[in-house]
Amino acid sequence: MRSFLVRRLTAIPLTLLGVSVLVFLATTVLPGDVGRTILGREASDASVAALDHQLGLDQPVTVRYLRWLGRFLTGDWGDSYTLHQPVTGLVATRLENSATLAVYTFVLLLPVALTLGLAAGVRHDTLLDRLVSGLSLAFGATPEFVTGVVLLVVFAVDLKWFPASALPAPGDGPLLVLWHLTLPAVSLVVLCTGYVARHVRASTVAVVEGPYVRAARLRGTSPAKVVLRHVLRNATVPATSALGVQLQFLLGGLVVVELLFNYPGVGALLLQAAIDKDLPTLQATAMILGALYMAVVLVADLAYRLLDPRVRVAAA
Amino acid sequence: MVSPSRQGWPKPGAGPELSRPELSRRGLLTGVAGAGLLAVLAACNAAGSAPATTASSGAPGRRGGVLRAGSPPPPTAVDPVTMYDGSAIAIVQLVAEYLIWLDRDFKLVPKLAESWSSDQGGKRWTFKLRPGVTFSDGTLVDAAAVKASFDRLLDPKSKSAALSAFESILSAGGVSTDGTATVTFALDRPFSDFPYLVSAGNYNAVILKADYGGDFTKNAIGTGPFILKSYDSATGASLTRNEKYWDGGKPYLDGVEIKFYADDQADLLALQSGDIDTQILSRAALVEPLGASGVVTVDTVKGTGVTVLSLRVDQAPFDKKEVRQAVAYGLARPDILQAIGTGIGDLGNDHLLAPLFPAAPAGIPQRAQDKQKVAQLLQAAGVPQLSFTLTFDPPSKDYAVTIQNQLEQVGITVHLDQRSSTDFYGGDQAKDTPWLFTPANLVGWAGRPVPSQFITPMVKSKAVWNGSKYASPALDAAADAYDRASTDADRKAQAETIATILHEDVPIVIAYWSGAVRAYNGKKFDGIQAHPSSFVDFSTVSQK
Amino acid sequence: MTALTAAASARLRLRGQPAAALAALVLLLWVGAALFWPHLVPQDPALQVPAERFRSPSAAHWLGTDQFGRDVFARMLAGSRPVLTVAPLATALGVAAGAAIGLTTGTLRGWVDDIVMRVLDAAVVFPAVIAAVLFVALLGHSTVVLVLVIGAAFVPIVARSVRAATLVERERPYVEAALLRGEPRASLMLREILPNIRGTLLVEATSRLGDAIFAAATLSFLGLGQGPGSPEWGASVSENRVWLQLAPWTVLAPALAIGSLVIAVALLADVLRQRWDGR
């Protein structure tokens, strides 16, 4: 266990280093010119060259990379080329926004997925089960921009229950923030629920068919109690690792949803930085997302190793 | 079971052509939307003196209320000196002012300058400042501040787009003061449209304090109707009424909230659902249908904005005049105006004298789609099977698709080569940038109120943005004569020569001139207007 | 594609599986559309008729027309070809390359395995957004670029599961026997292990196919598809979504097309997986 942890933990910085080299190389071969992007097409070539020099973009690639790396490691992440803001603050704000959306999605996702999964699992091979399985399969396969567009038109334009923009006005309270975030969160929930529900269902079936519940039934305990006490506790364990996987999924889904709902999150930032060749922002965003991604994978793996029900059943 | 492998998927998205509004709308405002209608020029021409009226129009509006306006987030920092996108320009125009405002009819409206006059045959221009105007921090607007504002733009190190507008007309050191209320510009050559270059038409030319240090969003000091209270590059800007604004009683609003929407649809939906009251940059194609259905009010205005199809005259196949003419005869212009220009604007006739310019010639027959003529011309040129690659960036996408479809109907094959805006405008303008060096490309130009500002950079020999590499001594001579012309008749004659040469040689194809629109909530607000360059003047907007 | 469907249908004994039968039918219809749309469409999907803009569905235009007066039904049929070209090719590329890597590292184990797996980890961490932007910027909008981007993204995923399956097989007595016989590594991989992990490969291929359709639609939605004018479904949704109120059919047709294809493939993959697991 410990060696597993040590190996994985040392792999993280090495992987990030590799990613940073790749990102750097990518920006050097991307066409376009940072100075030109900042100044616009009507600025003179001399102005553009002067700005490129000022930003150090006329230096050789290796010099630029090492300089960036040195500063990055010492905490100086530089300023965004295009937005003239310190990258640290920029990424932090955007990350906070995305995290709010992701957490809210999770909060909505969990009860729905657990209820559906448990219901389908307890009554497995009934019509209800087939319906839940079929629908979750269908929704999970439908791209979120399709659901998102439909949600927007029905709930923002026609019914006006929710705002069209995910962004609250400055100074709005937490409830208003959540109100604004509901439609984007729901389109992610629709996408992700199926996967988690099917995991919960599978584990529930295993538990319901397993010795635990049969013994309980023999003792004459009521089915509802059985579900609550045993099934819920045992079946949610593997479901957490499924949730971990979903968190990675969420990080990816954010780009599309952030764009669709005009939400200034980290996904939209990464995309714009790539288009603008805004290297400081691009690198910082890639590093943070990469680290986060690997941390989630690690935690999910750990959870799986620690909480594998087979291990626990065997131990019991 | 849905596989987790898709985890990376939604992520891979994203692309250069993504419907990023700051990319797609950038084209709207690139360019010096300079100068104005020549009719106005007659008033302030040569040694003439400008009218000294103020901009006040109509009855005073009701006081109070906050206007919420949607806009794409500025792609770069909001700095008056270097800005070129519509959102940044709008924010700056709410806070700071020009010597002269350029209104929706391209008329010059005196603002910080009260009057102006020229001598030495249009080579020297003198501007008298409006007395008693103060910056929002209480400092008086004097000649020194005005001189400093122009010196800042003229500094070769300023990186300002205004440098291109002043190119060959005004150089560093050309601005001087005479007392505290008079500013004099000594030009490099006579230029009778000079007032347009110090008006809003040259949108970087706002008057700032002499010690302006580049930190506009943190310390925005101007003379405008509103004061910038807060700015966030991701969410928007918040502005309040300038209680000390010089133009009595204005503005009527208590404040303006600018909300950034990175997505056209979000912006539009916000307007429909009442999250915002107006848009800074409305897209005609999107809001027109809404106006017809009565959901929102849409104001439209004709303009001189244009997307130009440049053909490289120095390379096969477009080195033959007949081939270029064939392309021009292949386009169904009314259909293009309807589908791409939403019917707001005028038909183009392959020359740069837009119908809106008073000097526009009337005698040149309008070119129309003519399949037989295309075949004849191509046969004559010895290129019976014409096929070429058309390069463009995302804002011109719909136009490109339409060109491809129309030319296909007359037997010309077009391959579409879409680049990201970064790519399209990147590279060296002297040797390889795609927008100036591909064989055929589409470039969007913001409306300019005097034709010289199209002609000089785009089609004169060796001009800075001459993407077709066209060179014609006759055209060069006519263009110079046009700038020097001192009478309307002379100006018209030169314009006719220029138009005839361009129409015949077709270095550029111009199918339509686009107008502009602005959508707003007409049930709540009065006084919101469209502007050909999407500029904003909210000082006369009031709540209903 | 057709072969796969036919094989799948045959194997599933569809009579007992109405949902799977329906899914197979939908998939077959789309494959048919992709192959024969030029003979099925009422008019050229690229033809612009300015007088016919934003027409609602009628006898002349079954699914209405779009902002250029193009026939939405024709575009929907034509849009099946890009996605059904890209998805199987990307799947084939991803599964072939992933399987080769997984099989090799799983068989050899040791330091080769360690290094390759770490590189694949880094590849997964590298933001695919940047990769996609990069590919499109350098190579332009094309089918090949889409296949490369999607296929490359699948390689680490397939490699991992094939490696896991290989590691399991590696412990089986028949491998030990082969090793004792002195069978060369290459032959061991291809003749002994590969046939025994074909279930994993089949499951991977079918799941990745669904993912590839999802990915192709999303990339196209984000503007990284085959370029302007293409009738791709994802691009059609993103180009027309602003007219959702004015002309909902322009968005709904391609959206439902994406949905039906993706759901059909997902259902078939699920049935296939259950069959395999059930053995």
Q: How confident is the model at residue C64 (pLDDT cuts 50, 70, 90)?
A: very high
pLDDT given for residue C79 in this prediction: 95
Q: Is the pLDDT of residue B31 over 60?
A: no
> Which strands, in side-by-side order, build the sheet including B113-119?
B113-119, B124-129, B182-186, B175-178
Q: Residues A21, A23, A29, A35: is their CA dihedral positive or negative?
A: negative
Q: Is the pLDDT of residue A143 over 80?
A: yes
Residues 13-72 of B with CB under 8 A from C: 13-19
**Is some CB atom of chain C closer than 8 A to the CB atom of B397?**
yes
pLDDT given for residue B56 in this prediction: 43
8 Å CB contact of A41 and B16: no
Q: How far apart are CA C132 and CA A274, in angstroms?
A: 10
Q: How far apart are CA A295 and CA A298, in angstroms?
A: 5
pLDDT, tens only, B247-287: 988 999 999 999 988 767 678 878 887 889 999 999 887 88
Q: Is the pLDDT of residue B18 over 80?
A: no
Q: Taking residues A132-137, report their average pLDDT.
A: 83
pLDDT given for residue B459 in this prediction: 95
pLDDT given for residue B103 in this prediction: 87
Please name the member of C129, C217, C248 whose beta carbon is closest to the beta carbon of A270: C129
Q: Taking residues A137-149, report their average pLDDT.
A: 82
Share of chain C above pLDDT 70, in %: 92
User: Among the listed ranges B143-152, B479-488, C8-17, which one has the minimum average pLDDT value?
Assistant: C8-17
pLDDT given for residue A315 in this prediction: 39
pLDDT given for residue A35 in this prediction: 84
Domain boundaries, chain B: 4-286+522-543, 302-515
The verdict on pTM exceeding 0.95 is no
pLDDT given for residue B475 in this prediction: 96
Bridge-based pairing of strands B175-178 and B182-186 is antiparallel
8 Å CB contact of A146 and C118: no
Bridge-based pairing of strands B512-520 and B345-347 is antiparallel
User: Among the listed ranges A131-140, A141-150, A159-168, B469-478, which one has the minimum average pLDDT value?
Assistant: A159-168
8 Å CB contact of A145 and C266: no
What is the residue-averaged pLDDT of chain A? 79
Share of chain A above pLDDT 70, in %: 83
Chain C residues within 8 A of A256 when measuring between CB atoms = 218, 221-222
8 Å CB contact of B11 and A251: yes
8 Å CB contact of C262 and A141: yes
| Best residue in C125, C241, C244, C272 for a mutation probing chain A (most A CBs within 10 Å) | C125
pLDDT, tens only, C262-273: 889 988 888 887
Q: Taking residues B520-542, report their average pLDDT.
A: 93
Residue with the bigger pLDDT between B185 and B284: it is B185
Nearest to A85 by CA among B29, B21, B79: B79
Q: How far apart are CA C31 and CA C26, in angstroms?
A: 9
Q: How confident is the model at residue B48 (pLDDT cuts 50, 70, 90)?
A: very low
pLDDT given for residue A237 in this prediction: 60
Q: Are B108 and B101 within 8 A, CB to CB?
A: yes
Q: Taking residues B128-139, report their average pLDDT.
A: 95
Q: Taking residues C142-147, report their average pLDDT.
A: 89
Q: Is the pLDDT of residue C27 over 90?
A: yes
Angstroms from C179 CA to nearest CA on chain A: 29
pLDDT, tens only, C193-248: 888 888 888 888 888 898 899 889 888 888 888 888 899 998 998 888 777 777 88
Share of chain C above pLDDT 90, in %: 33
Q: Taking residues C39-49, report their average pLDDT.
A: 91
User: Among the listed ranges A239-243, A245-249, A309-313, B17-21, which one has the minimum average pLDDT value?
Assistant: B17-21
CATH 3.40.50.150 is the classification of domain B302-515: no
Chain C residues within 8 A of B13 when measuring between CB atoms = 129, 132, 218-219, 221-222, 224
Q: What is the dihedral of CA B201, B204, B206, B212, to 10 degrees?
A: 180
The SS3 call for residue A241 is helix
Q: Are C186 and C218 within 8 A, CB to CB?
A: no
Nearest to C43 by CA among C253, C235, C231, C227: C231
| Distances from the Cα of B9 to the Cα of A273, B463, B472, angstroms | 19, 46, 54
Share of chain B above pLDDT 70, in %: 88
> E strand or H helix at B520, and its extent?
strand B512-520
8 Å CB contact of B417 and C140: yes
Tokens of B423: 């790519």
| Best residue in A33, A42, A142, A190 for a mutation probing chain B (most B CBs within 10 Å) | A42
Residue with the bigger pLDDT between B392 and A36: it is B392
Give the distance, in angstroms, between the CA of residue B14 and the centroid of all CA atoms in the same chain: 28
The SS3 call for residue C105 is helix
What is the SS3 string spanning C130-167? HHHHHHHHHHCCCHHHHHHHHHHHHHHHHHHHHHHHHH
Phi first, then psi: what are they for B350, rounded to 5°? 65, 20
Angstroms from B271 CA to nearest CA on chain C: 13
Q: How far apart are CA C161 and CA C165, in angstroms?
A: 6
Nearest CA in chain C to A255: C129
Neighbours of chain B (3+ CB pairs under 8 A): A, C
Residue with the bigger pLDDT between B156 and B80: it is B80
Please name the member of B273, B423, B429 whose beta carbon is closest to the beta carbon of A157: B273
8 Å CB contact of A15 and C130: no
pLDDT given for residue A246 in this prediction: 61
pLDDT given for residue A244 in this prediction: 60
Would you mind telling me the total number of residues written for chain A in this entry?
Answer: 316
8 Å CB contact of A282 and C248: no
B4-286+522-543: CATH topology: D-Maltodextrin-Binding Protein; domain 2 (3.40.190)
Beta strands, E only, B35-174:
66-71, 100-102, 108-110, 113-119, 124-129
Most confident of A23-32, B154-163, B211-220: B211-220
Q: Is the pLDDT of residue B42 over 50?
A: no
pLDDT, tens only, A52-87: 888 888 888 888 899 889 988 888 888 888 777 789
Q: How confident is the model at residue C279 (pLDDT cuts 50, 70, 90)?
A: low
Chain A residues within 8 A of C130 when measuring between CB atoms = 23, 26, 270, 274, 282, 286
Would you mind telling me the total number of residues written for chain B in this entry?
Answer: 544
Please name the member of A41, A84, A259 whose beta carbon is closest to the beta carbon of B262: A259
Q: Are B111 and B97 within 8 A, CB to CB?
A: yes
pLDDT given for residue B36 in this prediction: 32
Residue with the bigger pLDDT between B351 and B421: it is B351
Tokens of B421: 């805006």
Residue with the bigger pLDDT between B336 and B163: it is B336
pLDDT given for residue A239 in this prediction: 59
Q: How many CA atoms lie within 13 A of B23 on its CB side?
A: 27
pLDDT given for residue B383 in this prediction: 92
Tokens of A245: 């996987």
ipTM of this complex > 0.90?
Answer: no
Q: Which residues of B236-256 are buried (b: 16+ CB within 10 A; e: fewer)?
A: bbbbebbeebbbeebbbbebb
pLDDT given for residue B99 in this prediction: 97
pLDDT given for residue A249 in this prediction: 61
User: Among the listed ranges A27-31, A278-282, B98-102, C217-221, which one has the minimum average pLDDT value?
Assistant: A27-31
What is the residue-averaged pLDDT of chain B? 85
Q: How far apart are CA A285 and CA A273, in angstroms?
A: 9
Q: Is the pLDDT of residue B289 over 80?
A: no
User: Among the listed ranges A240-249, B419-428, B507-516, C106-115, which one has the minimum average pLDDT value?
Assistant: A240-249
Q: Taking residues A166-188, report their average pLDDT.
A: 81
Residue with the bigger pLDDT between B441 and C113: it is B441
Share of chain A above pLDDT 90, in %: 2
Q: Is the pLDDT of residue B53 over 70?
A: no
